[in-house]
Amino acid sequence: MISALEIRRKLLHTATAFIPLLYHFFPDIGPLTGRQWVLILFVIFGGLYVFADYFRRRSPFIRKVFLWFASPFIRDIEEDKMTAASVIAFSFFTVLLLFPARIAVPACLLLSFGDAASGIIGRSFGRHPWFKHYTVEGSLAFIAVGLLLFLAFPYIPFWKAALTVVLCALFEGLLSHLNDNLVIPFSAAALLLMLEV
């Protein structure tokens, strides 16, 4: 069964959808577009988090403040390395910066919702491993949630959405030596770009 810590982490994972949604809907204000405003705010607030995450191993004060805020979501293995939240911040910022919004937004949302669904279902109900600790049940949850998510983007033909989601589910497992918070959004964005979405 999934632990309370993992449930909190997956809920936080889902909450990261706020970033690409804000990027998609934020209005233009003054001389800057809404997307430019979001990237600027992301650099400021996301940068502060990543800065604190990195320097907490060098400053007892920063460590104390950081852990007061983030300790309910940190796994033991993240005590001495960058947290998943920092990796997500980096991947989201890079994908939103490098790819057109029509590609970047669904690619980031696939990580927010698909990965959370696969983690919860896989850890709770996964009985059939297909690669290392990845289960058929978890990967099917990723695919199902991903397909439902892509329905919100009608300009993406269903077959392109299905191909992207299925390949990302495979990449998440087969490239498990890499961080899935990088693999999923970058793979989804690259695939959608190659498919000329």
Concatenating the DSSP letter of every residue in 40-78 gives HHHHHHHHHHHHHHHHTTT-HHHHHHHHHHHGGG--GGG
C-alpha to C-alpha distance for 18 and 177, rounded to whole angstroms: 27
The backbone torsions φ and ψ at residue 84, rounded to the nearest 5 degrees and listed phi first, read -60, -35
Give the residue ranges of DSSP H helices in 151-194.
158-174, 180-194
Q: What is the largest CA-CA distance in the chain?
A: 54
Q: What's the whole-number mean pLDDT along residues 142-162?
A: 97
**C-alpha dihedral sign at 15, 169, 118, 49:** negative
Strands 129-131 and 134-135: antiparallel
C-alpha to C-alpha distance for 5 and 182, rounded to whole angstroms: 22
Domain count, the chain: 1
Tokens in use for 193?
A: 């770009």
Give residue-wise pLDDT tens across range 94-136.
Answer: 999 999 999 999 999 999 999 999 989 998 898 999 988 899 9
- Whether the per-residue pLDDT at 148 is higher than 70: the answer is yes
**Contact present, 167 and 89 (Cβ < 8 Å):** no
For 141, the domain range is 4-194
The angle that helices 4-15 and 116-125 make with each other, rounded to 10 degrees, is 160
Give residue-wise pLDDT tens across range 154-181.
Answer: 999 999 999 999 999 999 989 888 899 9
C-alpha to C-alpha distance for 175 and 106, rounded to whole angstroms: 21
Query: How much is the mean pLDDT over the chain?
Result: 92
**Secondary structure tally for the chain: helices H, strands E:** 10, 2
**pLDDT classification of 1: cutoffs 50, 70, 90:** low
Let me know how long the chain is: 197
